Amino acid sequence: MLIRVKDAVKKYGKGETEVYALDHAELELDEGKICVILGPSGSGKSTLLNMLGGLDTLDSGELTVAGRKVTGLSQEQRTDYRKEDVGFVFQFYNLIPDLTVEENIEVVADISAHPLDMDEVLRALDIEKYRRRFPKELSGGQQQRVAIARAMIKNPKLLLCDELTGALDTKSSRQVLKFVEKMNRQFGTTVVIITHNEAIAGMADQVIRLKDGQVSESLLNQRKIPAAELVL
């Protein structure tokens, strides 16, 4: 078991404006699998991703990743956790605009203890020929592949993808998902994809549905299909 979330609670606001983003949520994810978390806006998906990634802390409950108790880590320890164990891919790529593809990836490689080979990652994501280009010179799909490369260069235990196809057209979305699948297969990385898009659930090993901050459904996908065959 890679991830275990137990009785997780996260509230925002106070008094009348108090909102439970996570309301005693519970879930477990296996190592090396692809997990798709689905849910409407305000269901707590992004909050859950923030907790899994060590970006934010729970008000109560417990979160364990690869045997490491993330709840209770100090700010510095959470920074180290993000540095060593987690890779992030966001909807709008969040690449540093003044750095080339290669340099954006180098930003992470530079602080990683055992980074993967840059060329191998660039090849794996088919962006080798863009290595000296700046983000603005690339299409959305290409930028998202760079974001995946940046996340993967540290060979993380966990790859967190937040609406990674949200800003892409169907063709690019499929291509990006194919690469995520490839990363999972090639490097054995556990992948958590947070999305609105029900169709993406087809490529998952495990599908979790969130509603009002609670896990409403968690099931193993018996009929997993390759990303290339998804009808997006």
With contacts defined by CB under 8 A, name the span among 63-71, 96-104, 190-198, 206-214 that binds another protein: 96-104
Decide: 156 and 192 in contact? Cβ < 8 Å.
no
Say which DSSP state 14 is in: -
Which residues share a beta bridge with 195?
38
With contacts defined by CB under 8 A, name the span among 34-42, 60-68, 78-86, 182-190 that binds another protein: 78-86
Q: How far is the CB of 180 from another protein (least distance, A)?
A: 18
Q: How far is the CB of 201 from another protein (least distance, A)?
A: 22
Pick the binder of another protein from 24, 28, 55, 181 (CB under 8 A).
55
Pick the binder of another protein from 90, 141, 142, 203 (CB under 8 A).
90
The structure tokens listed for 48 are 């859950």
Q: How far is the CB of 46 from another protein (least distance, A)?
A: 8
- In the bound state with another protein, the residue whose beta carbon lies nearer, of 16 and 76, is 76
Report DSSP letters for 15-28, one per residue. GGG-EEEEEEEEEE
CA 26 to CA 113: how far, in whole Å? 32
59 binds another protein (CB under 8 A): no
Phi and psi based region of residue 188 (left: phi greater than 0; alpha: psi -120 to 50; beta: remaining):
left
- In the bound state with another protein, the residue whose beta carbon lies nearer, of 84 and 212, is 84
In this structure, is the dihedral angle defined by the CA atoms of residues 28, 203, 94 and 66, taken in order, positive or negative?
positive
> Which helix or strand (DSSP H or E) is residue 87 part of?
strand 86-89
Phi and psi based region of residue 126 (left: phi greater than 0; alpha: psi -120 to 50; beta: remaining):
left
Window 106 to 135, contacts with another protein (CB under 8 A): 106-108, 110-111, 132, 134
Pick the binder of another protein from 7, 98, 117, 229 (CB under 8 A).
98
How many CB atoms neighbour CB 129 within 10 A? 9
- In the bound state with another protein, the residue whose beta carbon lies nearer, of 28 and 84, is 84
155 binds another protein (CB under 8 A): no
Q: How far is the CB of 8 from another protein (least distance, A)?
A: 16
**Residue 59: half-sphere exposure toward Cβ, Cα within 13 Å:** 13
Q: What residues line the site for another protein (CB under 8 A)?
A: 50, 53, 55-56, 76, 79-84, 86, 88, 90-92, 94, 96-100, 103, 106-108, 110-111, 132, 134, 150
